[in-house]
Structure 1
Amino acid sequence: MKVDQLLVHQQVELLEVLTGFETNNKYQIKNSLGQLVYFAAEENDFCNRNCCGNLRSFDMKILDNLGQEVINLYRPLRCAGCCCPCCLQELEVKAPPGEPIGYVIQTWDICLPKFTIQNDKKEPVLKIIGPCCICNCCSDIDFKVTNLDESETVGKISKQWTGLTREAFTDATNFGIQFPMDLDVKMKAVMLGACFLIDYVFFEKNN
């Protein structure tokens, strides 16, 4: 409730680097001081990870420092393709596990990657707008978080450049999430979920 920024660092999996087989993703979630706040771990099976690649469905458990699950993310399997508005990406956020608090829904747009953040009643609350060209070229990639009419930017989700070696040989990513201090804590959790969905859709490499 008292933070306006989170840092999400994906852990490099040595087995994945050496063999090319996709392993379950794991992340450390820190505050702006670098203190560990949460730990996130994907739960998935071998066939789903390695056959469906970045489109795979998953359960993501977010644990506190005591190892207790505090947030659960669920992404169903969806096809890719901006030309098919009937099959778009989505993510359900539950906190505590079993109680939906919000959703991240991809919005069809022919030019820009767009998502809508919804509350537990599936009412739109915020929008996320990505850049026209998503290219890892020595710089951060920002996804703006705006109000519903897209007239005001209230935060952002940034994929941070991690260096040439790491970018070339792994799909481990670093993100920064910024939001207003007074934003509803449930919507902060949904924005955290949006960060993971963006990671899988745009930055998870198919080995």
Structure 2
Amino acid sequence: MSNDNRQPKGDSELELDWKGRGAPEERVQPAALAEAGAGRGTPGDIRFMGPEVRHALGPLLEGSGLCVRQIHEWAEILVGWETGNRYEAMDQNGQFMLYIGETGEGWGNALLRNFWPFRRVELECMTKGGALALRIEQPWTFFFTYVEVKAWDGRLMGIIQQRFGLLRRTFELCTPGGAVLATLEGPLWRPWTFHVKQNGQEVATIRKQWSGLAREMFTDSDFFGVEFQPGLTDPRLRQLVLAATLMVDLAYFEERTSGTGSVFNILDIFNIFD
């Protein structure tokens, strides 16, 4: 995958309106869930997805890669006021796939985002038509990052658990029961790159891409490229890789003012060609 920052075609001017939306169970009608096969098969099984979700996730489930671009509002860029995390997922040709937005509106949540680091983060991956495709929940933890990934019908599809590592950042991508599907490893001396491995073989790569000196130093607007090896055919694991991409941004690149964020921000400058 080339490191050029592809922009979405056609839908680049579309804007997410996260205000006033209800909870996931309120937005998705029971009849639509039943028609799509909610609750059937293992969570994330593509055979029972509705056509809209299945179409939106097509590049993720079958393609060779995708891009995730963070979206910022002017309040964040000009004065550093943190609003909810928002992203746009695109296929390798820059075509729109999903909107990804943090839940929680109002002044209470805004104050928590800006002044309380011990908060829970919940992200919803939505199709262009507003259907929920994936949900990522990251509670606050003392040491090791822990993420729950829920399928389009609300069932727990997998978990991502950080493990101790001296010279690398290590995570396990697991089933709801804790069986390890793959590992996610990021060498400390290459902070922009994470490798997804199954049985010691690399099956996917997550790489933060350079977006310019000014943007890297003064904003946390990140751009990620994800590459899949042809041998990775498990749709559940592919969905967990997308969740892991968002987790990587939240854990290592989101907080420019935190100690960890500052360290990785400095390392960013020396890893332009990582």
TM bin (shorter chain): 0.7 to 0.9
Distance of 1:162 and 1:198 partners within structure 2:
17
Distance of 2:119 and 2:87 partners within structure 1:
17
Residue 160 of structure 1 contacts residue 174 of structure 1 at CA under 8 Å; is this kept in 2?
yes
Q: Provide the secondary structure at the position in 1 that maps to 2:62.
A: coil
Match of 2:121 in 1: 58
Superposed structure 1 runs of 4+ greater than 4 Å apart: none
1:34 is displaced (CA, Å) by 0.8
Higher relative contact order (CA 8 A, sep 6+): 1
When normalised by structure 1's length, the TM-score is 0.86
Distance of 2:234 and 2:183 partners within structure 1:
15
Cα deviation code 1:10-29 (max 9, x no counterpart): 01221112222211011110
1:134 is displaced (CA, Å) by 5.2
1:70 is displaced (CA, Å) by 1.2
Deviates more, 1:101-110 or 1:12-21: 12-21
Query: Hey, which of these two has a bigger chunk of strand by percent?
Result: 1
When normalised by structure 2's length, the TM-score is 0.66
Which residue, out of 136, 159, 166, partners 1:110?
Answer: 166
Give, as a single letter, the amino acid of the residue that structure 2 aligns with 1:48. Answer: L
1:206 is displaced (CA, Å) by 4.2
Give, as a single letter, the amino acid of the residue that structure 1 aligns with 2:86. Answer: K
Unaligned runs of 5+ residues in structure 1 are 80-86, 136-140
Distance of 1:48 and 1:198 partners within structure 2:
21
Match of 1:16 in 2: 76
Q: Which has the larger radius of gyration?
A: 2
Please say if 1:142 is aligned against 2:193. yes
Give, as a single letter, the amino acid of the residue that structure 2 aligns with 1:46. Answer: A
Residue 125 of structure 2 contacts residue 135 of structure 2 at CA under 8 Å; is this kept in 1?
yes
Match of 2:175 in 1: 119
Give, as a single letter, the amino acid of the residue that structure 1 aligns with 2:151. Answer: A
Trace 1:49-198 onto structure 2 (pairs within 5 A): 49-53=113-117, 56-79=119-142, 87-133=143-189, 141-148=192-199, 151-181=200-230, 182-198=232-248
Q: What is the total number of aligned residue pairs between the two structures?
A: 192
1:63 is displaced (CA, Å) by 0.2
Give, as a single letter, the amino acid of the residue that structure 2 aligns with 1:94. Answer: K
Identical counterparts, % of pairs: 27
Cα deviation code 1:93-130 (max 9, x no counterpart): 11114201111111111221111111232210111110
Trace 1:23-42 onto structure 2 (pairs within 5 A): 23-42=83-102
Residue 119 of structure 1 contacts residue 187 of structure 1 at CA under 8 Å; is this kept in 2?
no
Cα deviation code 1:129-188 (max 9, x no counterpart): 1022355xxxxx21111124xx32111110111110111121010001122344211111
Distance of 1:145 and 1:23 partners within structure 2:
30
Which residue, out of 173, 179, 199, partners 2:249?
Answer: 199
Which residue, out of 31, 39, 47, partners 2:111?
Answer: 47
CA RMSD in angstroms, aligned pairs only:
1.7
